[in-house]
Amino acid sequence: MKTAIISVKLRLETSGGVTAPEALATADEILPLRKLTNGHPHLPGTTVAGSLRAHCRTRTEFAGDGTAPLFGGEPGEEKPAASAIQILGTTCTPSADAVPRRRTAIDRERGGPANLHLHGIERLPRGTTFEIVLRWDAPDERWEPFKEHLMRWRPRIGRGSSVGAGVCTVVGLGEQIYDLGDPDGLLAWIQDSSAAQHPEPRDLGTSRYEPRPLLDEEVVFKIVEPLHVGTGEQYDGESSKVNSVVRDGDSYVVPGSTLKGVFRSRAEYICRVLGHDACLDQMCGRCRPCRLFGYAGKTRDARRSKIVFYDAPISAEQDPAEERKHVVLDRFTGGARDQLLFTDEVVTHGSFEVRIEEFEPDHDSGRSDRVNELDKALLKAVIRDLHDGLIGIGGRTTAGYGTVRLHGSPPALTDLTAIFASEAA
């Protein structure tokens, strides 16, 4: 009998991590990462097994077509087969301390932030690596194809997959096969009793995954009016507290959650203008925005988004950040109210690219999750409205903030009414 040990090294290409929903949130409502007793971040084996199971389901020889499935039988089977591959454990090597990322929901009736909906989660930074150890007893002829397929694994770890969080690539792979029928092989197996003795993952170089943008053309915006996407935190300025903007390391970014919210809100508006349903609570599961952007229903029929919006780093030749002050007016005197001077940090110039990708089809659902031409036309209509200044990005858009323009020509106008009609027919 032979037993194989496989070491896989994953690297976070975007910030992310698995949170601990059972843990009590801190006073500022930050959901912490799942951690071990020693305080190190933890990647649960169940998360790894679920992702690998979905990845291997795309190949018939791994999913059980005439052979035993590598990751067990399907739920509901009378006698489901056990998984041939075991997850022995995971270790994490953070590249830096975890950072909080806050977001808020938008009230669809007022168009402003919804009360009591500011929340946040901790995220591990880009560059964090995980080492995963797998065991396969009696590996068969699928051993070499499995290793090749494993190199193409691109899991999305933890929360926020539809806003670009937790994207990982395989950057290292190591393997060792022990022949337990041979005395030397059996001795080596017995001596391999600790994580330090597992095979060292060899460097695979650059990622073998090539992202496929959803839209044919690049979507690059330049900032026309100051842009403020706040973190919910403040720092000490010269004369008052300053509301800071979102950063990722040394770069200012437009979060993927912000972009997804803007696109969904405007897509809902466009659908209503054209006389088509668009619910206000994002929970119906029937309207086109729900089917495209996902919905959190009260039943188990909730669905994730079809598409992914990534964080958009802002590029600028000089430091684009600036502090802008504003004061609350006294409605009785018409003058400034005492002790109500506010300062926002804003990004005054620069450009950023909106990256939208399509999720892989959901093989568990039995339904098609592909983005169709109407979905793309709806997204292009939102891009056109952003370019025309009909909507903005970030906070205080009603006070002149958040206006952006496309580099190059805007998308051509599409007759959405005709497309909706043809789809209904």
Q: In this predicted structure, what is the pLDDT of residue 65?
A: 61
Q: In this predicted structure, what is the pLDDT of residue 27?
A: 47
Q: In this predicted structure, what is the pLDDT of residue 20?
A: 86
* SS (HEC) of the chain: CEEEEEEEEEEECCCEECECCCCCCCCCCEECECECCCCCECCCHHHHHHHHHHHHCCCHHHHCCCCCCCECCCCCCCCCCCECEEEEEEEEECCCCCEEEEECCECCCCCCECCCCCEEEEEECCCCEEEEEEEEECCCCCHHHHHHHHCCCCCECECCHHHCCCEEEEEEEEEEEEECCCHHHHHHHHHCCCHHHCCCCEECCCCCCCCCECCCCCCEEEECCCECCEEEEEEECCCCEEEEECEECCEEEECHHHHHHHHHHHHHHHHHHCCCCCCCCCCCCCCHHHHHHCECCCCCCCECCCEEECCEECECCCCCEEEEEEEEECCCCCCEEEEEEEEEEEECCCEEECCEEECCCCCCCCCCCCCCHHHHHHHHHHHHHHHCCCCCCCCCHHHCCCCEEECCCCCCCCCHHHHHHHHHC
> Of 395, 403, 401, 340, which Cα lies nearest the Cα of 113?
395
pTM for the predicted model, two decimal places:
0.87
Sheet with 230-236, edge to edge strand ranges: 230-236, 241-245, 336-347, 321-329
Q: In this predicted structure, what is the pLDDT of residue 39?
A: 86
- What is the distance between the alpha carbons of residues 9 and 128, in angstroms, rounded to a whole number? 10
Q: Please list the pLDDT of the chain residue by residue as tens digits (425 residues).
A: 889 999 999 999 999 999 987 665 554 578 889 999 888 899 999 999 989 988 888 777 777 665 667 887 766 667 777 888 999 999 998 888 888 888 887 777 776 777 777 788 899 999 999 999 999 998 988 899 999 999 989 999 998 999 999 999 999 999 999 898 888 888 888 877 666 678 889 998 766 556 678 888 899 999 999 999 988 788 887 767 888 899 888 889 999 999 999 999 999 999 999 988 888 888 888 899 998 999 886 666 788 899 999 999 999 988 899 998 888 888 888 888 887 888 889 999 999 999 999 987 544 444 456 888 889 999 999 999 999 999 999 988 888 899 999 998 888 888 888 777 776 65
Q: In this predicted structure, what is the pLDDT of residue 23?
A: 65
